[in-house]
A = this chain, B = another copy of it.
Amino acid sequence: MNEHSPSAFDIEQAATRIAEHIHQTPVQTSQLINSALGCQLFFKCENLQKVGAFKARGALNAVAQLSSSGAVATHSSGNHGAALAYAARIYGRQAYVVMPSTAPAVKKAAVAAYGATIIECEPTLVAREATLAQLVSETGAHFIPPYDHPHIIAGQGTAALELMAQVTPALDCVLTPVGGGGLLAGTAIAVKGCAPGVQVIGAEPLGACDATDGFRSGQRVTEQTPNTLADGLRTTLGELNFAIMRAHVDNMLTVSEADIVAAMALLWTRLKLVVEPSSAVPLAAVMANPDRFAGKRVGIILSGGNVDLAQLPF
């Protein structure tokens, strides 16, 4: 275990620290989905969170703990950029967000709406990192990483902390989608900290299953060519998040693109919730593995709701 891993106590402190700037999002259920799947699903609606995604939690927790003044900066395909822009505005700092030119228009608009400066770059990780490095060197801005940092992880873990408190009797397991792994890592620490018997399961698209491969092999996958409509999950699992996954996560499941679209349609038509494809990945995993979840009480974190209405998969 990496020595910089946040503790369950860090997550409780994060929850107190960011409380006034986030929504305690509701937990929703659907009798129709439950009876169709033979289990009880509890959806933590982080699509209704500030900036439309759980990412607001981590960004607030990280910016709040900066020890010196000055601007903040990051690279992001979307939700973390909007989250950092929001957090910067809350704490009175300038924000710079490096975004790939291919990022969805709705995500660029959200970043701009919170007053951040967008710097576009080529849609490769190399270009993102180079552009960011230049920006940081020119402006002296603090780099706030999107997922592989203890303050980010602790912030993201507050969603699961709330979920566990909102649902009684206790859940049998909690599922999250996995991209860079900040949400999964924070969730695992939060859940195991208050209820070690509750299983934590990560869900990934087959087209971007680097975390699952690393979970099985014990070796972190550092390069992949993601191919999934779940645009929030195309990133590669962070190093710290890999270590936390290995220590605390019980299992990883993968799903097909068709499964993701079917799960997304179910969430839209039955729960009447606009969620982005990434959010549908855990439900897709439950739908693809009915025996594994039969009769169980299953928490699912709906990670975000920022979709481009002109680019829907239906």
Q: A interface vs B, CB < 8 Å?
A: 26, 32, 47-48, 52, 106, 113, 265, 268-269, 272-275, 305-307, 309-310, 312, 314
Contacts and interface: CB of A to CB of B under 8 A. Distances in A.
Given A274-B274, A310-B314, 7 more contacts: A47-B272, A52-B272, A269-B274, A269-B307, A272-B273, A309-B312, A309-B314
A307 B312 CA distance: 14
B314 A48 contact: no
B312 A314 contact: yes
B269 A106 contact: yes
Nearest to A49: B272
Q: Which residue among A26, A272, A312 has the maximum number of chain B CB atoms within 10 Å of its CB?
A: A272
A310 B313 CA distance: 9
B310 A272 contact: no
A274 to B, nearest CB: 4
Nearest to A28: B48
Contacts of A265: 309
Contacts of A309: 265, 268-269, 312, 314
A106 B314 CA distance: 14
Given A113-B32, A312-B312, A314-B309, A272 B269 contact: no
25 contacts: A26-B26, A32-B113, A47-B272, A48-B272, A52-B272, A106-B269, A265-B309, A268-B274, A268-B309, A269-B274, A269-B306, A269-B307, A269-B309, A272-B273, A272-B274, A272-B275, A272-B305, A273-B273, A273-B274, A274-B274, A309-B312, A309-B314, A310-B314, A312-B312, A312-B314
A47 B26 CA distance: 16
Contacts of A306: 269
A200 to B, nearest CB: 25
A311 to B, nearest CB: 9
Contacts of A113: 32
A312 B48 CA distance: 22
Contacts of A26: 26
A21 to B, nearest CB: 12
Contacts of A305: 272
Contacts of A273: 272-274
Task: Please name the 8 residue pairs, one residue from A and one from B, whose CB atoms are nearest each other, closest first.
Answer: A272-B305, A309-B314, A272-B274, A47-B272, A268-B274, A265-B309, A48-B272, A274-B274
